[in-house]
């Protein structure tokens, strides 16, 4: 799909950037964020407040921190970016909101040890996606511990508002530019957030719910079109929902959702999650090939029910034709295919759809509703930025 078509899709408000068609905008949809480069990072601004920061300099991999709700509630853990008294310091590679994977050509891009790989940003720009509105467009090299380039990626990230909170639309294209790449089956990945400790199921106030009705610890390793993790921060209820795209490999994805606050979409972990070799979800991308994956994150203030999240999933991600036609009384099988770089690959068949629901609009008073002037498109950052 060309970048021109990609832009048209976003203009039409298909928030999952690589979707093939437009879906309805969610209630209260607005393009009201601005972006500003700031010393090795991009500040994401709503009204006059920095509500998120995309950090790419002096780090083993790019990440977003801090990440605030529209009521200015911090929804991700501070560590390892900041050490806060009483906050857990396990898993130092859990950097707030990031992308990584545990086994690409045998290299670990999830952990952060001397033997791990690094994801190094090589360019940054702001791409126009609608009149007066931009996405953060970056390119990154995935470099092994020996200094060799394993693959690279192309990412587009855009922030929006809706009646329920902040929407973050992310699309990543992994490119096999040097040689073929093998994404091996492991639970360690891929599109991840580490929630604020008070939002966690263990030791906090949190609860997990997915689109199939799995709750709390039972949601780990299960497949679903969306997953929600909601808890309290300083006595205020807030949550994070991730929506999978029906155009993604392995849809609906497996979820690496832990009781201590990890929440990650991982389409490549079928065998690891189920302990069944028949569900091996590894993928080989041929030399010069690529694979696109896209997700939408919702940062919401207050509690959202399953009916509302189902309706939002239909609005911002849609459903594949196979799901619309599926017999809801029969379980999905594992014998369907998808196209990756023009080639047919095995992919898990989508689950049958649930009935659509009319969302209930919550009362949320966001930080800022007025659209502010957009930034001027910026060139790639210099080495001393």
Q: For 46-95, what is each residue's pLDDT tens digit?
A: 999 999 999 999 999 999 999 999 999 999 999 999 999 999 999 999 99
Percentage of the chain beyond pLDDT 70 is: 77
Indicate the range of 27-36, 68-77, 314-323 predicted with least confidence. 314-323
- Torsional class of 190: left (φ above 0), alpha (ψ -120 to 50), beta (otherwise): alpha
- pLDDT at site 23: 53
Q: How confident is the model over 136-146, as a mean pLDDT?
A: 98
pLDDT > 50? residue 188: yes
- pLDDT at site 362: 38
Q: State how far the Cα of 15 lies from the Cα of 24, in Å rounded to an integer.
A: 10
Q: How confident is the model over 112-132, as a mean pLDDT?
A: 96
Residue bearing the bigger pLDDT, 265 or 361: 265
Going from N- to C-terminal start, the domains of the chain cover 3-347
Residue bearing the bigger pLDDT, 380 or 129: 129
Q: What is the pLDDT of residues 96-105, one digit of tens each?
A: 999 999 999 9
pLDDT > 60? residue 302: yes
Q: What is the pLDDT of residues 201-219, one digit of tens each?
A: 999 999 999 999 999 999 9
Residue indicated by tokens 């130092």 = 92
- pLDDT at site 12: 32
3-state secondary structure at position 250:
coil
Quote the tokens at residue 351: 């689950």
Give the closest residue to 73 by CA, choosing from 272, 375, 364: 364
pLDDT > 60? residue 253: yes
Q: How confident is the model over 261-290, as a mean pLDDT?
A: 98
pTM: 0.82
pLDDT tier at 197 (50, 70, 90 boundaries)?
very high
Q: How confident is the model over 247-276, as a mean pLDDT?
A: 98
pLDDT > 50? residue 358: no
Residues 6+ apart with CB under 8 A from 129: 7, 10, 11, 135, 158
Residues 6+ apart with CB under 8 A from 52: 43, 44, 64, 65, 66, 67, 68, 159
How many angstroms separate the Cα of 34 from the Cα of each of 165, 169, 220? 16, 15, 35
Q: First CA to last CA across the chain, in angstroms?
A: 32
- pLDDT at site 317: 86
In which element (H, E) is residue 182 found? Answer: strand 181-183
* DSSP 8-state class, residue 25: P
- pLDDT at site 311: 95
Percentage of the chain beyond pLDDT 90 is: 74
Q: How confident is the model over 327-339, as a mean pLDDT?
A: 35
Q: Is the peptide bond before 136 cis (omega within 30 degrees of 0)?
A: no
CATH of 3-347, one of 2.70.98, 3.40.50, 3.80.10, 2.60.40: 2.70.98
- pLDDT at site 321: 59
Spacing of C-alpha 221 from chain mean position: 17
Indicate the range of 2-6, 137-141, 146-150 predicted with least confidence. 2-6
Quote the tokens at residue 203: 């030791």
Give the closest residue to 226 by CA, choosing from 240, 211, 238, 209: 211
């Amino acid at each position: 799909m060309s970048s021109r078509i990609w832009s048209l899709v976003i203009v039409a408000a298909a928030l999952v950037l690589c979707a093939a068609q437009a879906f309805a905008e969610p209630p209260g949809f607005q393009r009201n964020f601005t972006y500003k480069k700031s010393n090795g990072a991009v500040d994401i601004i709503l009204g006059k407040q920095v509500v998120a920061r995309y950090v790419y300099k002096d780090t083993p991999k790019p990440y977003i921190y801090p990440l605030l709700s529209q009521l200015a509630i911090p929804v991700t853990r501070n560590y390892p970016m900041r050490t806060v008294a009483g906050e857990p310091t396990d898993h130092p590679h859990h950097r707030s909101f990031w992308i990584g994977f545990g086994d690409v050509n045998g290299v670990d891009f999830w952990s952060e040890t001397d033997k791990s790989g690094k994801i190094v940003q090589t360019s940054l720009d702001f791409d126009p996606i609608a009149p007066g509105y931009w996405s953060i467009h970056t390119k990154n090299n995935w470099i092994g511990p020996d200094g060799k380039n394993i693959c690279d990626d192309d990412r587009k990230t855009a922030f929006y508002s809706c009646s329920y909170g902040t929407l973050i639309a992310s699309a990543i294209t992994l490119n096999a530019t040097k040689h073929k790449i093998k994404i091996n089956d492991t639970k360690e990945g891929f599109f991840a957030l580490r929630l604020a400790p008070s939002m966690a199921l263990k030791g906090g106030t949190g609860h997990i719910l997915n689109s199939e009705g799995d709750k709390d610890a039972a949601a780990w390793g299960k497949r679903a079109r969306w997953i929600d993790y909601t808890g309290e921060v300083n006595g205020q209820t807030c949550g994070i929902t991730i929506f999978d795209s029906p155009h993604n490999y392995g849809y609906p994805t497996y979820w690496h959702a832990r009781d201590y606050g990890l929440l990650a979409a991982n389409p490549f972990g079928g065998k690891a999650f189920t302990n069944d070799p028949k569900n091996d979800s590894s993928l080989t991308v041929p030399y010069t090939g690529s694979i696109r994956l896209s997700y939408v994150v919702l940062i919401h203030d207050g509690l959202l029910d399953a009916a509302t999240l189902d309706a939002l999933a239909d609005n911002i991600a849609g459903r594949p034709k196979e799901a619309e036609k599926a017999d809801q009384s029969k379980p999905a099988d594992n014998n369907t295919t998808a196209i990756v770089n023009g080639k047919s690959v095995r992919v898990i068949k989508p689950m049958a759809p649930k009935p659509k629901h009319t969302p209930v609009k919550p009362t949320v008073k966001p930080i800022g509703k007025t659209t502010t002037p957009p930034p001027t498109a910026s060139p790639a950052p210099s080495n001393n930025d």
